[in-house]
Chain A
């Protein structure tokens, strides 16, 4: 296939929206979803009736601690639209970005012109009802699936799992909390300029080092925060994107992969994630190189995801990332690679990957305000801990 025929080259991002963040929110999950969706539709300059495709990550889950309380059908009915295609992405796909990839494919095949993509989380409210609702433990008498290999050992949280990666990474590359802490410090510094971030008061490395230990070596500030909120974006066919409100953003290249971490199957020595395959795929689909990347929105469900992902997607070499981030200078707004300019999930809240894509678009449209990266032309955005998605976005 010729490169210009790749599906992502047929698609553009034309609008974004995000609800107000809450911990908890006084609006229902469906209200938050509609807030984000209507904002994204208006941002693109579309009317609601022009939406002809609808997807989200992932489908509606009525249990599961608010991980995905709103599905495509709820939203379709609430918006009163009749899309030709709806389908949520699966937790078994290439991470949170799976829904965006589906939207790209829906427009590239000619099925849809404007696909509305959203991600809603209601985890803050769910935790008020049951603090254990967001754990791996589950409500059944016995634990099954991949969690059967963790929960009997009192590894109740993904924090326990990712702590294994942090420990192995520290041991292999001779780094530690003094380096990893800068991921959190950097996020909070950026979030100070994000009015919709859940935590906006800057922290120092000392604050980080004195924060409560969760599961060594991961501390409180290494973990993102459950929120109630929703993010939406519009993926349009390039031909349908021309005369809309925003200059359409190109998806220069995409990459995706899955692995077995959630099923208890680990590749390698716990210092790299299978996202490497997503990175390799992405760079095969573009002539741009890592030197062309102006800023990076890197998934940070846990701080350790950031070095793992930066290396997996080839923006930095293996073992290099935490030294690069240490001190915060090279990842600052005026640094070589401005990083997680919304504050990431650690400080802006767990919009579950979609905060990162929202921020990438916002930067490329020059709407970053106090956190704007000067003349940002390209942005890398990556999502996922168990399945992996990456996009290189650029201005057109």
Chain B
């Protein structure tokens, strides 16, 4: 599935979010994790929400996940944005209720709650945008 048009508007990188948006450069989904208690936190915050200490470091996760809930967008919000696409909350297996929002690279009718997915990355400028595709599908841009 090609990226919907118009081009994606990219995120600003901050000291807290940079690892998440650039980990794909080395093929890793990086989620900040407390070096003390092991707690993951996303979206990232400077302090561990449990320890309240500055002990959060980007840590690679498995890249696997489960579609917790999703929506198929139909509305053309911007000119040229005509194609239906799936926006989802993916729950990572590393911690309960640890969610990453993303697009699912699959035909909308194939997506369902509980669906296992795997991360892949779309590189634009200095961002490697984490996207997810159904588990056990080849990582090709036109898989959908």
**A: which residues have CB within 8 A of B?**
132, 135, 137, 140, 142-144, 146, 148-157, 159-160, 163-168, 171, 212-218, 263-270
For window 7-33 of B, CB contacts with A under 8 Å fall at 8-12, 14, 17
Inter-chain contact total with CB atoms closer than 8 Å = 116
Is A155 touching B9 in the complex (CB atoms < 8 A)?
A: no
* B10 A143 Cβ-Cβ under 8 A: yes
Q: Is B35 an interface residue (CB 8 A)?
A: no
Output the nearest chain B residue to A145 by Cβ-Cβ distance: B12
| B residues with CB within 8 A of A | 4, 8-12, 14, 17, 43, 68-75, 77-78, 81, 85, 87-89, 97, 99, 101-103, 108, 113, 127, 129
Known: A154-B77, A167-B71, A168-B68. A267 touches B10 (CB 8 A): no
Contacts of B43 in A (CB 8 A): 146, 149, 263-265
Q: A163-B71, A164-B89 are in contact. List 4 more A-B contacts (CB 8 A).
A: A151-B11, A168-B69, A215-B87, A218-B71
Cα-based distance from A136 to B81 in the complex (angstroms):
15
* B101 touches which of A155, A165, A166 (Cβ 8 Å): A155
A254 to chain B, nearest CB (A): 28
B8, A153: Cβ atoms closer than 8 Å: yes
Which of A140, A144, A155, A218 is packed against the most chain B CB atoms within 10 Å?
Answer: A155
Q: Which residues of A contact B89 (CB under 8 A)?
A: 164, 266, 270
Q: Is the CB of A143 within 8 A of B101?
A: no
Q: Does A164 lie within 8 Å of B69, measured CB to CB?
A: yes
Asked if B12 and A152 sit within 8 Å, CB to CB, the answer is no
**In the bound complex, do residue A157 and residue B75 qualify as a contact, i.e. CB atoms below 8 Å apart?**
yes
Residues of A near B88 (CB, < 8 A) are 164
- Give A263 to B11 CA distance when docked, in angstroms: 14
